Amino acid sequence: MVQLTGPKKIKCAVFISGTGSNLKSLIQFSKKNNSPISIELIISDNSKAKGLKFGKIFKISKKVFNFKNKIIAEKKIISDLENKNIKLICLAGFMKILSKNFIKNFKGKILNIHPSLLPKYKGLNTHKRVLLNNEKYSGCTVHFVNYRLDSGKIILQKKVKIRKSETAKSLAKKILIQEHRLYPKAIKEVFNL
Ligand code: GAR
């Protein structure tokens, strides 16, 4: 469990690969007085990630790393995180799988948001698989990251009802709205707030 020490906010890095709507909601949350975090760094594996624009908009440092050589990329990231005294990592639509070594370095300090009711539908294409299975509900989960994909301890979940006419696109949109509320709530939970 991450410990809050004193009145200072915990320095946090957010990892993204795409649109960054969760990043935006986390930045807005971090600016609230009652938020335990301040976002100091945005990291992406994708130089074309739309979410990188939030670095400029909110004046937060951003860095892109080429994950073709994961060992080298992660080494550089670890050094950047240490230099900035980052104590919490929030994966927000980050589509690379971090190595065991990386996770070991930040044990218990990496959170992820996943668009399903874990432990169901780990991995990719969740909405499509949920609909193919005629599920009545889906949702989103914030969890700690451990060595197994989408399998760490669950912090919070939010359930949404699936309509008869639901498509993967409409379901993704509906769940994303809930994700933006759930991630800040889960961070508060981590800090016992
Ligand atoms: C979100 O739905 C997030 O849960 C999902 O990608 C989307 C990113 O949206 N993450 C995963 O599927 C991780 N396996 P965003 O870039 O707008 O935050």
The residues facing 111 across adjacent strands are 90, 144
Q: What is the CA(113)–ligand 1 centre distance, in A?
A: 7
- Domain check: are 39 and 80 in the same one? yes
Ligand 1, residue 113: give the atom nearest the CA: 4
Tens of pLDDT, residue by residue, the chain (193 residues)? 565 545 689 999 999 999 999 999 999 999 999 999 999 999 999 999 999 999 999 999 999 999 999 999 999 999 999 999 999 999 999 999 999 999 999 999 999 999 999 999 999 999 999 999 999 999 999 999 999 999 999 999 999 999 999 999 999 999 999 999 999 999 999 999 9
Number of Cβ within 10 Å of residue 136's Cβ equals: 8
CA nearest ligand 1 atom 3, residue:
93
Ligand 1, residue 112: give the atom nearest the CA: 13
Cα of 90 vs its chain's centroid, Å: 4
- Best of 43, 44, 176, 178 for a ligand 1 pocket test (most atoms within 8 Å of beta carbon): 176
Report the domain count for the chain. 2
- Domain check: are 49 and 134 in the same one? no
Structural domain span for residue 14: 9-107
Q: Which residue has the tokens 């938020």?
A: 35
Instruction: Tell me the pTM.
Output: 0.96
C-alpha distances (whole Å) from 169 to each of 34, 50, 134 are 34, 18, 15
Rg (CA), the chain: 16
Distance CA 43, CA 14 (A): 6
Q: What is the pLDDT of residue 4?
A: 52
- Domain check: are 76 and 23 in the same one? yes
Q: Which residue has the tokens 């080494």?
A: 75
Q: What is the pLDDT of residue 75?
A: 98
Q: What is the pLDDT of residue 8?
A: 87
Distance CA 130, CA 143 (A): 20
